Structure 1
């Protein structure tokens, strides 16, 4: 038996703001977007490469739900970056909310930072030289 991670789905309140965040600030590509008018929702898939070879993020926008409570079950999405300080500086200048500035993780040496997307979902940045 063989498995492959296909996507992670998050519900978003403002689809255009979320697409702008993931594509503009984080450099992902909008891979596909489909409206489902009869069910009043839109799916948008963003990622760093084709879905056939890469895991992606599914942004689900229910037209009649402007906001979601994040709950406490979801943790975060993690992205590797080559220079975490330069990345956080650029993201902050572009308006991203840095919730934990770059620094070593507790009880370790890995350098991490956290940002939030427009809906408050946490994104961990991990320095990978």
Structure 2
């Protein structure tokens, strides 16, 4: 197999309200740097790429008329639909991160628990538009 030098460049998330979601991700997850913005008139699309101090990039895309096929109750429900079901973020302190993110408007989906990987822990939340985010605290 070829070594392509793969690394995650960014994750793309389709949103209903670009301005509100941008403000939430900047305030709550620290994705404060705006890397780029783009706009099309036809079809009506606006995008912004945000970056955290650690280099995590998230592209938010708003397209007029876009609709969610159906909301996901949790990650297992999301797996019943093909495509991406959630995005996962590594955190240093799961309990503190989970508490801060839910206090800032994220809905609790699954509270912090032990993960399959020994020593790791995880939790799930939903952003204000219902997109699933997994928080993972790797083993010490």
- TM-score band by shorter chain is 0.7 to 0.9
Answer whether contact 2:124 2:133 (CA < 8 A) is retained: yes
Q: What is the aligned residue count?
A: 125
Aligned to 2:114: 104
**Per the alignment, in what secondary structure is the counterpart of residue 31 of structure 1?**
strand
Is 1:92 matched up with 2:102?
yes
Could you say if the C-alpha distance between residues 3 and 107 of structure 1 is closer, same or farther in structure 2, counting changes exceeding 3 Å? closer
Deviation at 1:32, TM superposition (A): 2.2
The list of structure 1 runs, each at least 4 consecutive aligned residues, that deviate by more than 6 angstroms after superposition, is none
Larger RCO (CA within 8 A; separation ≥ 6): 1
Is 1:21 matched up with 2:27?
no
**Per the alignment, in what secondary structure is the counterpart of residue 49 of structure 2?**
strand
1:47-101 per-residue CA deviation (whole Å, 9 max, x = no partner) reads: 2259xxx452221110233x32267221321111111111111112212112111
Aligned to 1:123: 133
Unaligned runs of 5+ in 1: none
Task: Give the aligned CA root-mean-square deviation in angstroms.
Answer: 2.4
**Per the alignment, in what secondary structure is the counterpart of residue 25 of structure 2?**
helix
Larger displacement relative to structure 2 (14-23 or 31-40): 31-40
How does 1:3-18 map onto structure 2 within 5 Å?
Answer: 3-18=6-21
How does 1:36-75 map onto structure 2 within 5 Å?
Answer: 36-49=40-53, 54=55, 56-65=57-66, 67-69=67-69, 72=81, 73-75=83-85
Unaligned runs of 5+ in 2: 71-77
TM-score of the superposed pair, with normalisation by structure 2? 0.74
How far, CA to CA, are the matches of 1:86 and 1:112 in structure 2?
12
